Each structure stands twice: as C-alpha cells, then as structure tokens.
Chains A and B, each alone.
Chain A
Amino acid sequence: MVVFPGTNCERDCALVLERLGAGVELLWHTESDLHGADIVVLPGGFAHGDYLRTGAIARFSPVMDAVTTHARSGGLVIGICNGFQVLCEAGLLPGALRKNRGLSFLCRWIEVRVCNYGTPFTGRAEQGQTLRLPINHFEGGYYCDESTLAELQENGQVTLRYEDNPNGSLEDIAGITNAAGNVLGLMPHPERACEALLGSEDGVVLLASMIDSALQAA
C-alpha cells in the first residue's frame, strides 16, 4: 500500500484488505523496494497536495520506479481515485482524468456496470452485475484521444462504466485496465463499500477478486 504525502485512504483500504485475508504493509513513497508485494495499491487522497495536476508530482516519487517495474512484469496494481490519476500520469494507464463536467466536487453513491469479467479484478462479478460504490472526486472525467479509446474498447480494457455518468467521463468510463489487464485504475472507492452498514458490500467483488488472482498467481 503506497502512501504519498497527502494520501488519506490507506487505512480504510488496509483494513478492508486485511479482513479479506491479505497481509498489508504501508509503504512510504520514498521507498525504492516493494518488499516482495504481490499486489500494489495506490489509494485515494491528494498525493503531493495535487499540486500542478493530480498525480503529476507523485509520478516522480522514488517508489514509482518499483511500481512500474512490478506492473511491467505482470504484477497486480490497483489505483483508486487519486491512485488512478497517478497511474495515468505515470503512463501505466492511458489517458487522463480531467475536472468534472460542471466543476462540482462529487461525493455520493453511484452505480457502475462491470464491462469485462475476464480481468484479475472482476473474477467474482456476475454477468450484467452493477456495483453500488461511492465516488469522491473533483477530477474524475476520463479522457483519451480517439485512437486510444478504440484500443481500449477493442482490448476490453474498459472495466467499469457509470450507469448514470456523474462527471462527463468519456464513454461513461469509471475504470480501465492496461492492455495486459494487470493494472486497474478506477474513480469509485470499493474500500468504502465493503460493509452493509456503510451502504453497500459491492466493493468486495473487486477487491476479493484481486486477492483471488494474486493467490492463483502465487
């Protein structure tokens, strides 16, 4: 679990992943070694204060070299919200996240449709399943150029789509993987939807699928 200055969702993510059976270690952004992690989580927050652009400075944190090596060699990486923005800036996912349409900070529950069941993050999703998850962002409008969009669609990289687009995201995109499928970025927060008491347990589908995949690979 990578922690940049300004990251603020790492404890929620750690708690949920531990409950799902994963061992979690918080890794300060100056570390250059991942300590043998099977999964790298870039949690939400405001890495480096979101100065310049969201994720722009975080990309140059020393830990990102190790994250890039891990991702390029097929290791699982999930970037949630600000973590998605960091992955785009780092070039591990295509495209960029822009300010929401309407310039509103959005903090509410939304529904996303699972569009690809074959990724390491969606193994537990049922055909046609929608997930009820919270969003909490100002820069969540996904954008990429036409040829990149065509590639995303051809390769099945669009993993999650909003049922009712809240932020002007291109093609209702809420989450994408890289071409190899081992890196997922998504704007909604699955870790905040893992207890019925909090309004939804649908986040478990994605996070438990990811742990399943890591166990299968080990």
Chain B
Amino acid sequence: MSRYLAKVDVMPKDGISDPQGQTIERALPALGLQGISSVRVGKSISLQIDAADEGDARRRVSEVCARLLANPVIESFHVVVLPL
C-alpha cells in the first residue's frame, strides 16, 4: 500500500448553465478586462488515499466521485492522482 494525493475537480456539466460563472463573467468588464469568456465555477476537493497503485487509487477515487462528490445529473468530475 502507498499513499496518494487525489485532486478532484467537480464542474457543472457541459451545456448546463452556470449562474455563478455567468455572474462573474458579467462583472469582468467593470474591471476593464476584455477577452475573457466561458467562465465556469466548480469545486476543487483534495483527499489522500491508501491504495495498491496509482490505477487502484484513481479507480477508487472515481467511484467516490460518482457516488458522492459529484452529482452525475448536473456535474462532471476530473481526478488527478499523485504519489505522496
């Protein structure tokens, strides 16, 4: 067993409107910033996991994402696993 650091990004699914991202995007011109678009707001979750190898760690974290950390109806997730 080795310990891994998992970084999980949970984002609103493509095609699902994101009122938070839209609100931020509308505020940008007030800062004098141009050329920024497609703002989306999600969550970043980090956790540590003891697993046999990197693949095992990624598989188990993905299962946690599918069952708890993300709601598959409205959210997608992306997992990055790093050895500690």
> A: which residues have CB within 8 A of B?
52-53, 56, 60, 88-89, 95-96, 98-103, 143-145, 168
Contacts and interface: CB of A to CB of B under 8 A. Distances in A.
B71 A56 contact: yes
A144 B16 CA distance: 10
Contact of B19 (A52, A89, A103, A144): A103
A103 B71 contact: no
B74 interface: yes
A145 B71 CA distance: 13
A143 B16 contact: yes
B75 to A, nearest CB: 8
A52 B69 contact: yes
Interface string B1-31: 0000000000000001101100100000000
Interface of B: 16-17, 19-20, 23, 68-69, 71, 73-74
A89 B69 CA distance: 11
A102 B71 contact: no
Query: Which 4 pairs of residues, A with B, have the shortest CB-CB distance?
Result: A96-B73, A96-B74, A103-B19, A96-B71
Contacts of A95: 73
A193 B74 CA distance: 31
A89 B72 CA distance: 10
A6 B20 CA distance: 25
Given A52-B68, A56-B68, A102 B73 contact: no
Nearest to A100: B19
A56 B67 CA distance: 9
B19 A101 contact: yes
Contacts of A102: 19
A145 B73 contact: yes
Contacts of B74: 96, 98, 143
Contact of A103 (B16, B20, B73): B20
Contacts of B19: 99-103, 168
A89 B71 contact: yes
Contacts of B23: 103
A60 B74 CA distance: 19
Contacts of B16: 98, 143
